[in-house]
Amino acid sequence: MKTPRLSPQTLRVLERFLEQPTAWRYGYELSRETGLKSGTLYPILMRLAKYSLLETKWVTTEDGVPPRHTYRLTPNGVELVRATFANSRATLKARRPAFSGGRA
Amino acid sequence: MIPAAFPRSVAIALLRFAIWIAPHDSHDWGHAMLNELNHVEGNWSALIWSLGGAGVLAKHAVLAFIFPGTHRRTVTTASELFDKEGPMRKTTVAAICACVVASLLFFLLPVFRQAFRVSLAQWHDVLHVGLTLGYLDSDPELDALTKKAEQNHDAEALAFVAVRARNQAESARLADEAVHLDPKLTWIYAVVAVSWPSLPEIDRWVLALEAWDPQNALPHFIVAEKIDIDQVIREKIPHHVDEQPASWQNAMAAAFQSSKLDNYLGRLKDLDRRVFLRYHLDDPFQVSGEDGWYGLPTYASADSSSYAKSLLESGQTLEVRNDRKGAFEKYLAVARFGQMMSPAGGFFLRRELQEAYKRLEALSQGEGNQAAASFYAAVANQADRAHYEALNSLRNRVTGSGVSHWNASLVKTSGLANLVCCGILLTCMLGVIVRGRTLRPSALYPSSLTLGLGFGAAAGALVSSSVLFVSYRPYSEILQRFIHSGDDDGLSELASFLADAQLPLGTQNFLGSWNVVFYFWSAVTVLCVLVVLIAVVRHFQTRPRATAA
């Protein structure tokens, strides 16, 4: 099977999701944890959701505050990403992250 | 002072606008980013969050506009999932490389290299601030040629650079050196003196010119020109010929008695050709350099009309005194000099020439010589036609033809497009390399947008190179014809084209280019300030914090 290649930014996002695969995550929370700006993070989330690897849900946190969009990997996503990680982790570990100045 | 919440308000407005322009299937994501704004700490951070989100939505809006009707789909395998993020797509990269190689191949053609240099001429005044502000500038190509000419003791090459030197002292030195090596080149004194009429060497040069070519009126014109310019500088301009100093009157009288008026431009063109061939020069601007005001001193040429008028008046006075022979000689002197001026600058003396022929015709009729009267009438008619032809030729030289204007615009636009495309291509390449932190093509991850931009820029570079080559080629042929066979038929067209090519794109004359210089450097300054501001903001944004969030 062809070994998929991941961009370092996507890898960081997926790593965060894999830490707690069942937990719902907020966009801003992911941004802070990965150090990615909204302009980088959201295209990744959108692409993952587009391929049904990510499920999204609107949740109301408190009264008077608009609902928030939350994300978590779908079972299919968890399986595919884990399989991909198993193959490419060795290679990816050798590579430096694209941006080392993140906050995470 | 900006209210603290202002950036957040701007951020909200910006994202709302981005949602408004975004395609329908991106609205959820837009609202997701908008609602997250409530939880972003800090007003400026909220604005930055909003800018990123708005950028994403804007990109989707553009893509939806270009590729309408894209559908969602699901994937089942990992490889299919990451196809989007795989290494650079080979077909696109191959197409980009093919376009870049094809564009670079153009540079192997000397005609294209010449065309590219001509397309850059519009930036000369904009980028050379010293020259724009009136300082003297040097031309590296001419400087190199001067060194070679001095090493080789090549008198003709020295004369070539003397005519084109931008410093009058240097021009005089080179002319002296050329004549010292080859006295047959004494005529170069006249060409240089017409360009620099206030040179201290002119008195000495005029003596040399009078001895070398005693029949020519040009040295006398040069003397009159120097006196005229001195009067202009001292703001003591005589209103009548009688008020002119004796030296000026003597110079004009000698010019009108001369049997020829040679501006030596023919000799200069032959010399140019020989130097071009000998030193393998290919700069078209050096050919048209001498194509100025017919190679005659401007003030003296204009003043020749006043002197001709005074001769006609004195002829009339002699007629009144019944000295027909004396009057005839005066009229004939004006007619003869007017004819001599015709090929070079006949428009200066058109009225006086016609008047002289009328008087000669009337005198001949008075003496009962009908044949001579008819002859003068016919010559007057012919001179008038020649005058209009010269005037049209001058108009064409000054304004140029529509074709040369159009071609100059094409060359300037395609040259500029070529630079912009190369800039975009380089930016895309650098962006992809910086993001991937590697030079291995297989490990680079350009987005669809980057690939699209890269392909567009590469294709643009190829198209603009082709247009540049095709637009300039006819002028290169004119130049080659002139250099190799002496055919100067298209030189005025070439001069007109090059004059247009030097004007910055979007300007109609040299006056407008000053505005271009101002706006160009203002834009550069604003961009520099923006880059510094962005760098400062990024520095504070990416500074490591004591605790992780």
Average pLDDT of B504-516? 61
The strand pairing partners of A69, in sequence order, are: A58
A29 to chain B: closest CA residue: B549
Residue B331 has pLDDT above 80, yes or no: yes
What is the SS3 assignment for A56?
A: strand
Looking at the DSSP assignment, which residues form a beta bridge with residue A54? A73
Check CB contact under 8 Å for B549 and A32. yes
Per-residue model confidence (pLDDT) at position A22: 86
Contact B82 A4 (CB under 8 A): yes
Say yes or no to pLDDT of B103 above 80: yes
- Kindly report each contact of residues B192-197 with a partner whose C-beta sits within 8 Å and lies 24 or more positions away, as own/partner: B192/B162, B192/B163, B193/B222, B193/B297, B194/B222, B194/B225, B194/B263, B194/B295, B194/B296, B194/B297, B195/B163, B195/B171, B195/B292, B196/B168, B196/B171, B196/B172, B197/B222, B197/B225, B197/B226, B197/B229, B197/B297, B197/B299
Quick one: pLDDT band at residue B398, thresholds 50, 70, 90? low
Give the range with max mean pLDDT: B40-49, B80-89, B277-286, B442-451: B40-49
Report the pLDDT value the prediction gives residue B439, as an integer from 0 to 100.
72
- Is residue B509 very low, low, confident or very high in pLDDT (cuts 50, 70, 90)? low
- Rounded to the nearest angstrom, the minimum Cα separation between A52 and chain B is 6
The tens digit of pLDDT for each residue in B195-249 reads 888 888 988 999 999 999 999 989 998 998 888 888 888 877 777 777 888 888 8
Note the pLDDT of residue B68.
58
* A59 compared with B236, residue with greater pLDDT: A59
User: A1: pLDDT confidence band, cut at 50, 70 and 90?
Assistant: very low
User: Which of B52, B76, B544 is opposite residue A39, by nearest beta carbon?
Assistant: B52
Q: Name the B residues in 399-458 with CB < 8 Å from any A CB.
A: 435-438, 443, 445
For residues B225 and B123, the model is more confident at B225
More confident residue, B303 or A86: B303
CB-based contact (8 Å) between A16 and chain B? Answer: no
A2 vs B contacts (CB less than 8 Å): 79
Q: What residues of chain A, 48 to 77, have a C-beta less than 8 Å from chain B?
A: 50-53, 56, 65-69, 76
pLDDT at A26: 93
Record: contact B79-A6, CB cut-off 8 A: no
What span, in angstroms and rounded, lies between the C-alpha atoms of B301 and B306? 10
- pTM as predicted: 0.60
CB B438 within 8 A of CB B444: yes
Give the pLDDT of residue B542. 59
Mutate to test the interface with B, among A51, A57, A60, A79 (most CBs of B within 10 A): A51
Block residue for tokens 């001949």: B364
Average pLDDT of chain B is 81
Query: Which candidate from B56, B85, B544 shows the least CB-CB separation from A5?
Result: B85
SS3 B287: helix
- Write out the DSSP string of B5-18: THHHHHHHHHHHHH
Residues from chain B contacting residue A41 (CB–CB below 8 Å): 52
Distance CA B34, CA A69 (A): 10
- For A46, which of B29, B48, B445 is closest by C-beta distance? B29
Q: Which of A14, A38, A53 to mutate to test the interface with B (most CBs of B within 10 A)?
A: A38
Top residue of A5, A56, A57, A85 to mutate, by most chain B CBs within 10 Å, is: A5
Is some CB atom of chain A closer than 8 A to the CB atom of B549? yes
How high is the pLDDT of residue B75? 46
Q: Does residue B70 sit at the A interface (CB-CB below 8 Å)?
A: no
Query: For residue B25, what pLDDT is reported?
Result: 83
The count of C-alpha atoms lying within 13 angstroms of the C-alpha of B32, restricted to the half-sphere facing its C-beta, is 27
Residue whose tokens read 């058109």 = B350
ipTM above 0.85, yes or no: no
Residues found in chain A: 104
As a whole number of angstroms, the distance between CA B276 and CA B215 comes to 30
- Residues in B touching A50 (Cβ below 8 Å): 72-73
Least confident of A26-35, B38-47, B128-137: B128-137
The DSSP line for B366-380 is HTT-HHHHHHHHHHH
Distance CA B474, CA B287 (A): 15
Q: How far, in Å, are A24, B60, B166, B476 from residue B161 at the CA level?
A: 79, 59, 9, 22
Is residue B319 within 8 A of residue B358, CB to CB? The reply is no
Asked if B380 and B354 touch (Cβ cutoff 8 Å), the reply is yes
- The alpha-carbon gap from B542 to the nearest alpha carbon of chain A, in Å, equals 6
Classify A25 as helix, strand or coil. strand
CB contact under 8 A, A42 and B29: yes
Q: How many helices (H) and strands (E) does chain A have?
A: 4, 3
Residues 17-56, chain B, touching A (beta carbon < 8 A): 26, 28-29, 31-36, 38-40, 48-53, 55-56
Q: Is the pLDDT of residue B442 over 50?
A: yes
The mean per-residue pLDDT over the stretch B535-544 comes to 66
Give the mean pLDDT of A59-64.
80
Min Cα separation A90/chain B (Å)? 15
Which among B82, B438, B447 is the top mutation candidate for probing chain A, defined by the most A β-carbons within 10 Å of its own β-carbon?
B82
DSSP for residue A65? S
pLDDT tens-digit series, residues B151-200: 999 999 999 999 888 888 899 999 999 999 999 999 999 999 988 888 88
CB-based burial label for B2 (10 Å; 0-12, 13-18, 19+): exposed
Query: Which helix or strand (DSSP H or E) is residue B235 part of?
Result: none
Ordered by start, the domain boundaries in chain B are: 6-76, 140-298, 509-538
Once rounded to an integer, what is the mean pLDDT over residues B46-59?
90
- CA–CA dist B335, B341 (Å, integer): 10
The pLDDT value given to residue A102 = 37
**CB distance A43–B31 less than 8 Å?**
no
Instruction: Please name the member of A7, A38, A67 whose beta carbon is closest to the beta carbon of B85.
Output: A7
Q: Which of residues 75-104 of A touch B (CB under 8 A)?
A: 76, 80-81, 83-84, 95-96, 98, 101-104
